[in-house]
Every structure is written in structure tokens, then in C-alpha cells.
A and B are shown apart, each in its own frame.
Chain A
Amino acid sequence: MSTYQEFIQQNEDRDGVRFSWNLWPSSRLEATRLVVPVSCLFTPLKERPNLPPVQYEPVMCSRANCKAVLNPLCQVDFKAKIWACNFCFQRNPFPPSYAGISEVNQPAELMPQFSTIEYIVQHGPSAPLIFLYVVDTCLEEEDLQALKESLQMSLSLLPPNALVGLITFGRMVQVHELTCEGIAKSYVFRGTKDLSSKQIQEMLGLTKPAAPGQQGRPVAPQEAAASCRFLQPVHRVDMNLTDLLGELQRDPWPVPQGKRPLRSTGVALSVAVGLLEGAFPNTGARVMLFIGGPPTQGPGMVVGDELKTPIRSWHDIQKDNARHLKKATKYYEALANRSAVNGHSVDIYACALDQTGLLEMKCLSNLTGGHIVMGDSFNTSLFKQTFQRVFSKDYNGDFRMAFGGNLEVKTSRELKVCGAIGPCVSLHSKGPSVSENEMGIGGTNQWKLCSLDPSTTLGVYFEVVNQHNAPVPQGGRGAIQFVTQYQHSNTQRRIRVTTIARNWADAQSQIQHIESSFDQEAAAVLMARLGVFRAESEEGPDVLRWLDRQLIRLCQKFGQFNKDDPTSFRLSESLSLYPQFMFHLRRSPFLQVFNNSPDESSYYRHHFVRQDLTQSLIMIQPILYSYSFHGPPEPVLLDSSSILPDRILLMDTFFQLVIYHGETIAQWRKAGYQEMPEYENFKQLLQAPLDDAQEILQTRFPMPRYIDTEHGGSQARFLLSKVNPSQTHNNLYAWGQETGAPILTDDVSLQVFMDHLKKLAVSSSA
């Protein structure tokens, strides 16, 4: 066991957990003084090829309000066949099936390497996967064609027993019946009328004289499946559906000059949610919404159909001038909650040049774990490949998606759960380990994740509740257990249990240890999530102020400096990068809305709060690689000084991949040297970033926007807006002209930021 770096990495690989602090301050007071809360990024379904699930069910603590799962941290009395719960200290006998247990014959869950273990639940019905396509038909012909093809393609990716359904909408909403022979049938709904779930089910003929009172329990899905004409196994309706999609026409209602097409997205979603609610309550299902524009009529309308009224901008929202915003948001939130209650997730695939109302609709995906994909057109590889990747498979050939997740967090007594931030909704489960201090979605120790994939990551925030005067015994450890129940994509019910423990440390005596246990990457992301979470409800400047305050406090706490002497300010290695992350975070689109539409902001934030640590960091501080004849490709500072004429730069912001050719390179390329055999090396140089980009493209979801630009190109702005403006038109001459490229901005550079930070940190008045 060497450095914390390795420890952290190992923990992440094994359990999918990164804590902000890997040593926990042992008292409440000290914990709050650490500024960054004890918290972690947890990836419940982290891919563990080396972790085969066990074929039995977990053994649980018998105490009713504990129910913790037997884990390697438990003390076991092999003789008495008794184990002690490490959370509540209840002594539990082993079940009869564990009769043969002994020191040499331990079940997997007791072995230390199985701090994360996955059980397969045998009993209970296995529900098929459900995919309900909700397709906007108010698209350009080309777009629609491309979308149709993508959808048809997707059918071949679905497991044969998965259920599929199709809803199309434009001015009207059509629910297509899939079993019909000879004649294509669909149920049509008016796009302007808000219908209750019951009405929808009645109109679809789903209400049977079925016995009521079965609510809350999946009503034998097989039976329901048979009764629902709208959701049918792929293998049965493959041909029908392919034809149906093939014959799908653009919305036929004429769109007068100066008008937007009438798009009933709100009703379409309501019908989709109502349909699933009626037919498959509490079963994993995925509503996939494809839209090519904003909802323009009916409930959930985002903008009127008059083209002369533009769709709301941040400016309008700040001026309280977005007349549909509140109503629409409320409408979609209600839908999202209904959907979440039943474990159905909603994906939004929005492809349009203008905004499509993601701001209003985002909660649909945010609360239900659905994807949001934003593109310019369905006829782009960005959409096509992203969509294809939704159905990507893991090493076992199973979909990288799971449904109906339920995450429960158990803590040892010294800790309580404050909340979680991620694609989840609260299950309002009050327990002894629930803190009253809420951070993120709090007030519960259980959350529902309607849909999750191996990269889905939650930020979970804790509170140390141990009082200062009740010190934890030396060598004591705090433990946290994550119990994730979910429906695997092969329809099995599974339970994954991750139990982790950290040492307590006395903050007064062991502050150095604590400082060195700081995971600044995780901390940056966790703090960023808190910031983004706040930004959803608070004014931008307030959030920045809060973030700055935290940073300054952290620096004051851990920085080494002489009072009022900024130059004396030093940070230890374990914190050295943190301020820089904060600098970039402040500039990021997650907190800055300038230059972004409300939809874009929603889109960026949506992805930020669900990706794992690495991706999140890329989002906060994009990665910049430099390619040149001077040596192998190397990462360089995200700084304007890195922009040199004889370099090719590759920037990855998660959302964009920018390849930037420096001035000289660009000229050479223009001159066509790469075509000449004698400049083969130039050709290779040009190719290198492309290959690297390709590699990133292969793995990223959603597909980043791929930008190939050069010095002076209009798209170079993507790069210029990200780099630290160390050279601007203001300080250009001071820096000399030989290196870098000046950025025309008034933004502060990292240098200025740091100087200021130091000043504030050392200030005695602060």
C-alpha cells in the first residue's frame, strides 16, 4: 500500500467509489471545517469483468431498520455460526444454507476482495425490456428519412423478446398498434388536450375489468404484455414495425408561412407515460423521444407557432419574459415524476438547429436516468452513432443499461446521508442514517434510478455526526454500504452490494494525514456537482460566489502562508490542482450561461451530473494534446500559450473534439504537401490527431461534436473559448509575440485568478 494515488485508483477500480476524503475527520465540527464535505462519487454499475455475480441471495441483518448485507467487514463467529452487523452491531445467525461455513470455507461476500459483490435474485418475475419510441414527424424529409433508418436499424439491435412500441406525433399524436395484419392501425390523440392517465388508458382500451388493488406490484407482466397491443416483442412485430417506420410520413398538416409546425410533444409524452403506466407499472422501460423542434401546442408548449416569436433565451428567462417556461416545466416535471414512480425512463434525442425545449423537458431525463442527446440533425453521424451506442453491449453481450435501479445507502453510526446528486429521484425513505442537512436530493437514504448504465455516477454526500467530545476509538473505521437493486438488461433482478470503510482521523492531531488523503479530483467534481445543483435553482452569480467562498475557505484551511502575504501562499501537492479545476469550472458552461442557449446549458448540466469522474473532469477542464514534428504527442496546458503555428492541437471537452491546425500547419495543408510522397511525415502528422480523436469518438457517449479547424477558422472559437486566456489583447505586448495566440477576451486568466485567490486566502480579514 503505497501512495494515496494508488489507493484511490484501486478503490475506484474495485468498488467504483471515489471519496473526497479518504480519512474521515472524527467529529462533526472538524468535518465542517474541512469545507469539502465527506462525500463520494459512486458508480453503482461500474463494469467489473472480473466480478461474476453469485447465484444466491444476500444474507441480511435481521434488524428491521438495518437490513445491511453481510460483508467482509463483519465480524464472524464461525463456531457459533453467527455474524455481527458492522452497522448496527446486531448479532445474526447464518441461514441454514451457510451451515458449512468455516474459516477456510468462507462465502464470497466475506472475502476482502469482494467488497463489491453482485447477487442474482432468483425469485420474482423477470420483466422484458421495453422500448417505446416516441417520434416527432414534423421533420424535414431528409431528417425523417435518416431517423427512420436509425430506428429500423435499432430494431435489429434489440433482443428478440424485448417489447417495442411506437408513438408518432406532429399536430396529432398517434399510438400505433403493432399486431395488426393487413391494415396499419393507430390510436390518435389531439395534440392540444391534456389527458389524465386514466383517460389515456381508457381511450387506448387498456382498462380491463381487471381486479383493482394490485397497484404497486408488477402485475404479471407476461399477461399484461399479451393484453397490450401497443407493446409487442420485437421478434413478433419486427417486419410490421419496419414497414410501419418505412411508411412513416412527415406530419401532413400544412404549415403556413411564418409558422412553426404544430408539435404536440407534451401530449405525446403524456400518452407514452400513460400507456406504460397502465400496461407495465414498476417494470423497467425506456421511452425514447425523438424531436426535431420545440413543442408548439398543447400542454408542455414551449413556444407558440408564430415564427416571429423566438424561443426563450437566457435573457428572456432572466427578464421573466418566457411565458410558457413555468407552465411547461411544471408539466414535464409532473410527467417525469409519474414516470419515475413506475420506473420508466425517458430519453430525449433532440436534433435541430434551434432550441427544442430541453430546458423545460430536461427533468424527464434527469429524474428518470434517461439520456439526452442534442444534435443539429438526425442525418448526422453524431446522432446516428450516438443512438447506436445506446444499444452497445458489454463483454457478456448484454446491453450496457439497467432498469428500475434502487440505491440504498447504509452508514455506520458516525455518519449520516445528506443527499445524492445524479440521475435519480428520492424514494423518501426515512431511516436512522438520514441527515436533516440536505445536500442535493436529500431526506432519504434510498433513491430510484429508473435507468442506469455502467458509467452512471452519483455524488453522495455525507455528514459526520459524531460529536467532538465522543471520540472514535483509535483504529475505528467508518463504513458505508451501497445496496443497488436493479433489473439487468438480460432481465434478471440483481443486487450489487458495495461495502467500504475508511479510517477515522482526529482532525486536530492528524490534519496532515487528512490533507494527504484528499482526493482533489473527486472533490472538484463533487463540489462542481453541488454548484451545478444549486445553479438549477439559484442565480448564476450567487453560485459562483458560493463556489469562490468554498475555495477560499479551503485554501485558508490547508494553505501554508503568512498572514497578508500572498506570495508566501503554498498548497500541498494533494490540493495543488484544485484551484485550477475551480478556475475552469467557473468558466464552464455548467455555471456560465453566457453564449449558451438555455437548452445547451440544460444539456451540459444533464451530462455533468451523471458521468463518472474522469469524464466529469474532462468537462471541467478540457484536455489539450499537442502534435508536432518536435516530438511525440504530448498533453499541454489548456492555455493560449499552447496555441502555436507549427502545432496541431486536439482538444477534448467531452462535448466537442476539436482538432486545431496551427497557422503554419494549416498553410502547409492548404498547399497540399501531405499529398506529396516526400512529405509523408507531414501526412502522418496530420493523421495522428485524427486517429486519436477517432479513438475517443469510439468510446464516448454521447458522441462529441467533431470539429476540424485551423488557425483563423471560424470554428477555432471552440478552442479559444476554452483555453486559459493567458495572452489577451490587453497583455499581448507584455508577453511578447513569439509564443501563443492572444485571445480577445476580458475574462480573467488563471494567473489573475490565482493571484486574487492568494490575496484573499491570506487576508486576515477574510
Chain B
Amino acid sequence: MSQQGYVAAPPYSQAQPGIGGYQGGFGAPPAQPLYGHYGGPPQGFNAPPAAGMMKSPPTSPAAMPPPPVSSQYNPSVQQNGAHPQRYASPSAASPPYGQPSHSVYNSMASPAPPTQQLANQMSAMNLGSYGKSHPPPPTSSAAQQHFQTPAPAMGQPQMHSAPAPHMASQNQMSPPQSPLTNMPASGQLMGGQSMTGPPMGAGPPMGGQSMTGPPMAGMNRPFPGPPPSGQGAFQQHGTGPTAPSGYPQQSGQFGGLMSGPQPGMPGAFPGSPGGLAGPPQKKLDPDSIPSTTQVIEDDKARLGGQVFSTNIRGQVPPLVTTDFTVQDQGNASPRFIRCTTYSLPCTAELAKQCQVPLASIIKPFAKLPKNETPLYVVNHGETGPIRCNRCKAYMCPYMQFIDGGRRYQCSFCNCVNEVPVFYFQHLDHMGRRVDFYERPELSLGSYEFVATLDYCKNNKPPNPPAYIFMIDVSYTNIKSGLVKLVCDELKTLLEKLPREDGAEASAIKVGFVTYNKVLHFYNVKSALAQPQMMVVSDIAEMFVPLLDGFLVNYQDSRAVIYNLLDQIPDMFADTNESETVFAPVIQAGVEAFKAAECSGKLFIFHSSMPTAEAPGKLKNRDDKKLVNTDKEKTLFQPQKGVYEQLSKDCVAQGCCVDLFLFPSQYLDLASMADVPSHTGGSVYKYNNFQVATDGEHFLRDLRKDLQKSLGFDAVMRVRTSTGFRATDFFGAIYMNNTTDVEMAAVDCDKAVTVEFKHDDALSEELGAFMQCALLYTTISGQRRLRIHNLSLNCTSQLSEMYKCCETDSLINFFAKSAYRAILNQPVKNVRDILVNQTAHMLACYRKNCASPSAASQLILPDSMKVFPVYMNSLMKTAPLVGSTELSTDDRAHQRLSVMAMGVEDSQLQLYPRLIPLHDVDASGEAVPAPVRCSEERLSDSGLFLLENGHAIFLWLGQASPPDLIQSLFNVPSLAHLQQEHMFTLPELDNPLSKKVRGIISELLEKRPNSMKLQIVRQRDKPEMLFRQLLVEDKGLHGGASYMDFLCYVHREIRQLLT
């Protein structure tokens, strides 16, 4: 979904008011025609060629059948529980229907048809059935899997060991029969399942068993009787085979669904006239729909702790949430690169057809766990790295040596190059160089080259980078105590500047600036007895007043710096200057780096909108009236001019900007953060900062940020083998041309999402290669090239492509492209496009990969089983939700922070962890398994921890047991909790307190950002913030619940299919 795609997209808006507006959409019959376009040629969306990504068969069901698995979702089903799954090979399909669940299994068993469909939710059902009927088949499936993921370690073993049950890895399997209970637990959930359980027997015609109406009722209390009215509608949809009996139920359910939450919906269903509306069936069983937590747990269970070797082309890695160890055997670790699909469709047509975006998320400096080898550094001396003469790709494992080793063929452009004499080596009988294992660039996916002077600015070796701390000393910051806090912290923090492994001290130089309406530079040369302050008032044309003594080695100048940091808060203690400048501050940093001929990073601690007369002066343009209009985009657009040029200057000089904001009101973050967001910087925001409550939170951020390992003055180039190429880039980057990704700095948490498009057909045989080369300056001032190589499969089978998709990466891509799109078009359009594309992707699967089944069934590819929940969550995020209650700055902030996120972070952001703490085993090591992000999972007597990477909440149920409260807070009951308790947990010496604090601090440690701990009591006002993060529920500021969304998408799919 490239930007253009958005622009070109037809205005779906009328028809569909967007998520929030489902009702309308549903209600309005005309909807259909509009969708019409959709179903048809997707041209509107420049749909990116879909990258098929297959999850290494994490979900057992999928695994089983060699072919891709699709889950079928029967919309109506939600409640029904009638999710019949059908693994049906086409042939098999029919039988299942006839039979109860069993039949399904059969289908599974018959591996013949490559495309298998798993009703994802239904999977439970299926699984269950599996167990029974398929004992034999499992093996076969396993075998097939093999073929898929030859890697030994992966899932396969598991599969083997536990044939049927495992499959159920989703658990459902084994207990299958036990209907309801299991289901929920297993997490497979579709409401359907639960239902299904019982009904199974009933003979599920439709998509399934789900249909088996009667049971349904049993399952879900709400739907006692199947409301018959809906039937008609269903039938229409239903495929022939479905048993009529089933229908009624379904329809009924459906109707219920719709009607319940959204009265309007029923109308939408063509078939079911008014009748549907009526029946108030409130709730579907939430367990019946695919569960993210379950998927995560399953993947963990299957692959957690294992070794992932990257020796196989197109291998789908474990989920980001799974702990695993990577062994680099020729492809870059998934920590560095993840793809939306690991099997690219061979042709552009295919890609267009499925609309699955083909993209990679590259995090070039990803932190490696201790047990993984850091990148090798290859030094070819003065000649520099060996590169293909034509396309300039760097030597890598994909280069084919021929002619006895005298020449090599570039796998990217097919050019045949001479091997330089010094590099010559004989080939062995396999055609591999004898020194294959001795040279990282021949055997590894990721490695570094030492760059020669040709790769340096002005052909001069770079100087070590520098950090400049720029502190806003206007009234606000002085009064809040921030200045003192920062100054005090810096004294200790500067000892911990990042340094090269093994280096005694950091080579990074430091400098200090304070400012309000004017800038104060400090000379902290070690020779001085006391620091010197230099005031620059000429903010119109910023310059750096001194060279020597401004950027110093901390070790040498420690005494002077201490002296300075001690004095700064006092010097401005009496200030009453409240105006600030901003652009000149950054300009000053750039000039300083220019003068010192180095790259580096600015740490800016800023409080308010820069209103002083100076370049980059901002004015309040926050207008809530624009929300939900065509002009809403202006709220996200930075002010043009000064900041644009500034970004350019920054990038040219390798000046990264990290911005710490402490606003008490609107400060036009969209403009202020423009530079950081183009220079690989981060923006941190602390509303109404108070030292007591936010101090520690801020300091944690500062510490993490300061100590991050990173590279400076970086240029990244992504080369691909012929047939496709990188066309679009998302991230905190700057693009001067269409191919070079420039980053003033790139740290271990910054990721660039790269979208690919076809140029030509790809060959299944040869596969596809990509090489990401990043030229950068290390923290000690060495110029290096970091190379990440990745090989992907190519396929002409969509099913294969779908199998190799990865939801987390997909959603990362969607988030970034949607967030970019809202700069140029109304938020509502963007939401519509997201929904449509979701529907399209799934419909395409349904149409091309799933075995025929009832139209009313929702069938999801196994790899995208939980895609809708993420997509729904994405649409409920602040930038996309269009609510006047949200602060414009917060929306802009979230928009920008997501743009630079890697897959891990975006996953967490869009599906927070909700960890129940009330029955935690205080003595054990384990952290309780997260539960689904829904209010329904909360209990009055429970304690829950919720975190999304930016915020962390401890939620206390109304009826929390006093002893828990006592152990955590040392107060007798909830009612005794005071304001001061709401931000920290006291350090108490009891197992529970220790455990909880342990869990929290571990999370804080693990996440790239600090999170502010907020303790909320059920029904307290702050609970709103907490509830916002329960992404499966209806959004507080608009946005559908997961369930509703699923229904809606299903409906869209069906429309597309007809």
C-alpha cells in the first residue's frame, strides 16, 4: 500500500464510514456497489506485490498439512461455534461436511491438495477432530512440513513427537471434544469452536460444523434459540452442501451478532432483511476468535529456546515474541531483517492479485543476545571490500565462483567479475571456495567490512562522533526541576557513554549548550579552572562561537564538566524567561559538528513551543475542528521551510537529534519532531512533567537512549537480485534520491521498512536475494560497511506465498504506510483502505487457496490468523482514530514513533501484554502467561499488568484481596491508596512484592523505551488510559471491537468473492 496507492484509491468513504462507522456502512445497502471495485481489479491500490511469508508452521494445524492452511471463519459462526473446519482437500471437502467434525480430519489427512484450509478459529475444532481421526496423517503432514522447513530444529520435531495432540499445539486438539471449556483455554477460540464442540456431532454442513445449529445455542448462552430469521441470508451464501438445518442457526447467530452491538449491521446483509436486526444477542464468545496470545504461546512452545539456523532459503523465522537463538549460516538473522513473506510471488500479476505487501523490515543495528556471535569485521586493506563491477553489490555468500575460482558471477545482476588476485582461491569439488569457512563474507549472512578512505567524507577518516546536550533553561524547565535533574544525572551518565568493545573509555566527545531565547555554549576545556559560558544571541543566523573546548573528552574534562553541571541550575534559578527558540538550537548543533568535522547526536531537553522571534518559530495551529475532515492531515504535517532545510543539513552532517519534550500544552510536535524523525532520532514526551512522578521514568529513557549502541552518518542501500527492487522506504530516515537511505544515526532500535515491487518475473528455482549495505561511522570514529544478506523463495503458488507470510511484519508495514498516508489524505480514507486491503488479502486467499467451502465461512490463512486483530488495533491507534479527545501532539508523536519501529515494537504496541498477577506464583521464576487484551479478561478481584512498550499499568480490581494490596503497597486496602502510591510500588520485603517488582523491572529493562508505571484502580478515572490499550474491545475514542471487525471483514470478503 504505497502512498500512491492511497491517493489513487477510490473514495470508499461514502460507502463505508470507516470502522467507527460500521453501522452506517452496514446499514447502507448501497455499500455493495462500492465495494464492487474492490472485488474487481485492485488497481486502485497499487497493491504491492504480496510477499508471501510463511510462518514456520507454528500453528500445528497449519503444520500438519503440507499445504498452506487456511482457517475458515464462519462469520455467523462467531457464536456458533460452528466452525467447521475443513481441511479439506477439495475432494475431501465434501465428506467432511457430511460428517461431523470427523470428516474434517479426514480431509486433513489427505494431504493431497496443497492448499489446506484451517478454520483458524475453528482450528480448535479441527484439531480436536484431528486427534481422532487422523492419527496416521499427522506423520505425513510432518513430512510435508519437512519439505517446507527443512531446517531440522524447527517445529518439526515437535510435530512428530506428538502427532495428533500437538497439532493441536493449539491445544485444542486433544481435548477437542470437550467443547467449550477447552476451547477457551486453548485459545483457539473462535467463539465458534466452543460452539462447535458440541455441535460437531451435529453434522455441520457449512463451513462447517459451526452450522450445527443446535449446539450453538448451548454454547453461548446468549443465543438460546437460533433466531431463524437470518436463515435466508445465509443460505444464499451457503454453498450447496451445507445442510439446511444449519443455516438457520447461523443466520440467527449472525443476526444476533450484528444486531447486538451494532444495530445497523443486519441491514447490510442483503439476504436478511429487517429480521436480523431484532434479536439482541449480546455477546459472542470471545474465545472463539483467533487469539494472539495463543498464537504467541504456541510459537513459544514450539520454537522457544531453540536454535534457528539461517542456512535455508526462504525460511520463516519464529515470531518476534519467541526467544530463540540464531545461528548465522548464510542469511541475515531475523533480528536484522524480517519480511512480510518469505516466498515472493513469481510475477507481478500474482502479487497484485493477492495484494499482500512485499516488504522487509530492516533493523541494521539490532542488538544481539549475548549467546550470538557479534558480526565479524572483514578487512580487505587498501583495496576495500570486493564488489561487483556492475551493480556494486558486495561480496557475499550468494556470489557464484566459476572458472576454477578465477571469476565470480554476481547473483544480483548476473555480471561476471574477475576475482582480484589477492582474493583468489581454488574451488573444491562442490564448486565452493576452499576458504569458504574462513571468510565471513562467503559464509555468513551478516558481517562488516572496514571501509577505506573512498567511503569517507572528503576522503578523510572521520573523527569520533560527539554528543551535545542542549538544555532548555526557560522558566518552565527550571521550575519543574528538570534542569537540575538532567544536570545531576549527566554527571554519572556520562561515564557510561557507549564505547567500542574492549575500549577503555568512550571516544565520544561531549558538549553542552543551554538555551532559552538565546543560546549559551560552554567551554569546558580541561585546562580551564572553571567553565566559560558563551552566549549567542544571533539566533537568526546561528553559529558556534568556539571550537576548542566545546566538544571535549569527558574523562579529561570531568572536573570542569562537574563544575558546569553544578552551576547550570543555579545560574538560571532566577530566570523568568519563558520564550524559547528551537530551530536555531538544532542549527547550532549542526554547525558545531560541521566545525569539528564529526558526526554526532544532539540531546535536546525542551519544554515549550518555540515562540521567540527566530527561524522556526511556531504558532499554535492545533485546531480540533479539523479532526475528521479533509484537512486533518495538516495536523500531522510539519511546518515547511526551516525544518525541512534543517533536516537536510542535519543529515548531510550526520547530526542525529533526540528530542525530550516536557510540554504542558500543545507545542506543535509534528513540526518539532520533524528533524528527529528524519535523522534517526527519537522523540520522548513527558506531559506535565513533574520530577516526583515522571523523573525516574524520564531518566530511564535518557539512560537507555544515551547508552544505545549506534552508528553515525549512515547511508543504506538495499540491492536485490533481478526481477524485483526496493521502491519505498519508511523510517526515521532521509531520502535524497530514490535509492540511498540516509540516516544521521541509526541505533539498535531503529528499523527501516522497505517495500519491494516486481520488475520482472522471478524464478522459483533461483529464488530472490537482497543485500542491505549500510555505510556508517562507528562510535569510535571508524568507517565501516555493515552487510546483511537474505535469500527468499519465489513461488507461483499463492498458497505457498500465504503460508510464508508473517503477520507481525505485515502489520509493521501496514502501520508505517498508513501513518505516512495520513499526511496526504483524510484519516478516514486511510482506514477504509486498510480494511479493504485486509479483506482483499483474505478474500484472495479464500478464493485461490482455500478449498471450496461455504461462503459464510471465514477462512483465514494460518499465517494471518490474527492479522485482523492487529489491523483493527492499528485502526484504533490515536493517529488513525480521529477523535477530538486525543491531543494532537500525542497523535503526531505516536505516528512518528511508529515510523521508526521494528517488528518487535510494533507488535507490542498494537497488541499489548496483559499479564494477570493475582495468582502469580510468587516463588517461581515464570512470568504468568499474558491473556487477551479485553475487558472480559479482567476480574474484579484481579491484579493485572498491562504494557505496550510505552506505558505500563498495574490494574487493581475493585475487589482485590486486601492481602495482595497489603503485600504490594503496605496499606490495608484499596481505599487507603493515596496519590503518591500511583506511580511506584514501594519496596517491600515479601515474595509477592518482590515478584511483581521483578516482573516490572524486567520489562522496563527489556523494552527499548522506559515506560511510566501507572497504578490504576478499577473504575478510577485514570482507568481510561488503561482501557484504551485493551485492543480487542471497542475503542474508547471510536473503533470497533475485534469481534465486530472480524464480522465486518468477513462480510467484505464475501462481497469480494461474489
Tell me which residues across on chain B come within 8 A of A252, comparing CB atoms.
546-549
Q: List 20 A-B contacts (CB under 8 A).
A: A172-B546, A174-B534, A182-B530, A182-B563, A182-B567, A183-B531, A183-B564, A183-B567, A183-B571, A186-B532, A187-B534, A187-B537, A188-B534, A188-B536, A193-B538, A195-B538, A204-B537, A247-B532, A252-B547, A254-B547
Decide if B533 touches A185 in the complex (CB within 8 Å). Answer: yes
Say if the beta carbon of B774 comes within 8 Å of chain A.
no
Say if the beta carbon of B521 comes within 8 Å of chain A.
yes
Chain B residue at minimum C-beta to C-beta distance from A191: B543
Say if the beta carbon of A202 comes within 8 Å of chain B.
yes
Tell me which residues across on chain A come within 8 A of B430, comparing CB atoms.
none
Contact for B529 among A186, A205, A247, A253, CB less than 8 A: A247
Tell me which residues across on chain B come within 8 A of A174, comparing CB atoms.
534, 545
Interface size of A as a range: 20 to 34
Nearest 7 pairs of A and B residues by beta carbon: A203-B537, A188-B545, A252-B548, A184-B532, A187-B535, A185-B533, A188-B534
Decide if A203 touches B518 in the complex (CB within 8 Å). Answer: yes
Say if the beta carbon of A190 comes within 8 Å of chain B.
yes
Decide if A186 touches B535 in the complex (CB within 8 Å). Answer: yes
Known: A193-B538, A203-B518. A184 touches B545 (CB 8 A): no
Contact for B533 among A172, A186, A193, A247, CB less than 8 A: A186
Interface residues of B in 62-77 (CB under 8 A from A): none
Say if the beta carbon of B528 comes within 8 Å of chain A.
yes
Known interface pairs A185-B534, A193-B538, A195-B538; 7 further A-B residue pairs with C-beta atoms within 8 A, sorted by A's residue number: A182-B563, A185-B535, A187-B537, A188-B545, A190-B541, A249-B548, A252-B549
Decide if A184 touches B530 in the complex (CB within 8 Å). Answer: yes
Known: A190-B543, A203-B518, A252-B546. A183 touches B533 (CB 8 A): yes
Interface residues of A in 160-209 (CB under 8 A from B): 172, 174, 177, 180, 182-190, 193, 195, 202-205
Chain B residue at minimum C-beta to C-beta distance from A243: B529
Tell me which residues across on chain A come within 8 A of B532, comparing CB atoms.
183-186, 247
Tell me which residues across on chain A come within 8 A of B529, comparing CB atoms.
247
Chain B residue at minimum C-beta to C-beta distance from A244: B532
Tell me which residues across on chain B come within 8 A of A180, comparing CB atoms.
533
Q: How far is the CA of A202 from the CA of B538 in the complex (A)?
A: 10
Decide if A253 touches B547 in the complex (CB within 8 Å). Answer: yes
Write the B95-132 contact mask toward A (1 if CB under 8 angstroms, else 0): 00000000000000000000000000000000000000
Contact for B543 among A172, A203, A204, CB less than 8 A: A172
Tell me which residues across on chain A come within 8 A of B536, comparing CB atoms.
187-189
Q: How far is the CA of A413 from the CA of B506 in the complex (A)?
A: 86
> SS class of chain A's interface: helix, strand, loop or mixed?
mixed
Chain A residue at minimum C-beta to C-beta distance from B528: A247
Chain B residue at minimum C-beta to C-beta distance from A187: B535
Known: A252-B546, A252-B549. A203 touches B530 (CB 8 A): no
Chain A residue at minimum C-beta to C-beta distance from B517: A205
Tell me which residues across on chain B come within 8 A of A184, comparing CB atoms.
530-533
Contact for B538 among A185, A186, A189, A254, CB less than 8 A: A189
Q: How far is the CA of A254 from the CA of B532 in the complex (A)?
A: 20
Interface residues of B in 835-853 (CB under 8 A from A): none
Known: A188-B521, A188-B536. A183 touches B545 (CB 8 A): no
Tell me which residues across on chain B come within 8 A of A186, comparing CB atoms.
532-535
Tell me which residues across on chain A come within 8 A of B530, comparing CB atoms.
182-184
Tell me which residues across on chain B come within 8 A of A205, comparing CB atoms.
537
Shortest Cβ gap from A619 to chain B (Å): 44
Interface residues of A in 244-266 (CB under 8 A from B): 247, 249, 252-254
Shortest Cβ gap from B972 to chain A (Å): 51
Tell me which residues across on chain B come within 8 A of A183, comparing CB atoms.
530-533, 563-564, 567, 571
Chain A residue at minimum C-beta to C-beta distance from B564: A183
Write the A632-655 contact mask toward B (1 if CB under 8 angstroms, else 0): 000000000000000000000000
Interface residues of A in 700-714 (CB under 8 A from B): none
Q: How far is the CA of A202 from the CA of B520 in the complex (A)?
A: 16
Chain B residue at minimum C-beta to C-beta distance from A172: B545
Shortest Cβ gap from B444 to chain A (Å): 43
Tell me which residues across on chain B come within 8 A of A204, comparing CB atoms.
537
Q: How far is the CA of A253 from the CA of B543 in the complex (A)?
A: 13
Interface residues of B in 558-592 (CB under 8 A from A): 563-564, 567, 571
Write the A449-470 contact mask toward B (1 if CB under 8 angstroms, else 0): 0000000000000000000000
Tell me which residues across on chain A come within 8 A of B533, comparing CB atoms.
180, 183-186
Tell me which residues across on chain A come within 8 A of B549, comparing CB atoms.
252
Shortest Cβ gap from B692 to chain A (Å): 29
Write the B855-877 contact mask toward A (1 if CB under 8 angstroms, else 0): 00000000000000000000000
Chain B residue at minimum C-beta to C-beta distance from A180: B533
Candidate in A186, A202, A253, A254 with the most chain B CB atoms within 10 angstroms: A186
Q: How far is the CA of A249 from the CA of B526 in the complex (A)?
A: 13
Chain A residue at minimum C-beta to C-beta distance from B548: A252
Shortest Cβ gap from A192 to chain B (Å): 9
Tell me which residues across on chain B come within 8 A of A187, comparing CB atoms.
534-537
Write the B538-560 contact mask toward A (1 if CB under 8 angstroms, else 0): 10010101111100000000000
Chain A residue at minimum C-beta to C-beta distance from B537: A203
Q: How far is the CA of A172 from the CA of B536 in the complex (A)?
A: 10
Candidate in B531, B545, B564, B567 with the most chain A CB atoms within 10 angstroms: B545
Q: How far is the CA of A520 from the CA of B535 in the complex (A)?
A: 59
Write the A496-536 contact mask toward B (1 if CB under 8 angstroms, else 0): 00000000000000000000000000000000000000000
Shortest Cβ gap from A717 to chain B (Å): 43
Shortest Cβ gap from A187 to chain B (Å): 4
Tell me which residues across on chain A come within 8 A of B571, comparing CB atoms.
182-183
Chain B residue at minimum C-beta to C-beta distance from A249: B548
Chain B residue at minimum C-beta to C-beta distance from A189: B538
Tell me which residues across on chain B come within 8 A of A254, comparing CB atoms.
547
Q: How far is the CA of A172 from the CA of B546 in the complex (A)?
A: 8
Tell me which residues across on chain A come within 8 A of B528, comparing CB atoms.
247
Shortest Cβ gap from B353 to chain A (Å): 61
Chain A residue at minimum C-beta to C-beta distance from B525: A249
Decide if B567 touches A188 in the complex (CB within 8 Å). Answer: no
Tell me which residues across on chain A come within 8 A of B534, comparing CB atoms.
174, 185-188
Chain A residue at minimum C-beta to C-beta distance from B546: A252
Candidate in A172, A183, A253 with the most chain B CB atoms within 10 angstroms: A183
Q: How far is the CA of A514 from the CA of B557 in the complex (A)?
A: 80
Shortest Cβ gap from A179 to chain B (Å): 12
Q: How far is the CA of A184 from the CA of B738 in the complex (A)?
A: 49
Decide if B535 touches A188 in the complex (CB within 8 Å). Answer: yes
Interface residues of A in 574-603 (CB under 8 A from B): none
Tell me which residues across on chain A come within 8 A of B538, comparing CB atoms.
189-190, 193, 195, 203
Known: A172-B546, A184-B532, A188-B521. A193 touches B541 (CB 8 A): yes
Shortest Cβ gap from A274 to chain B (Å): 12
Shortest Cβ gap from B228 to chain A (Å): 83
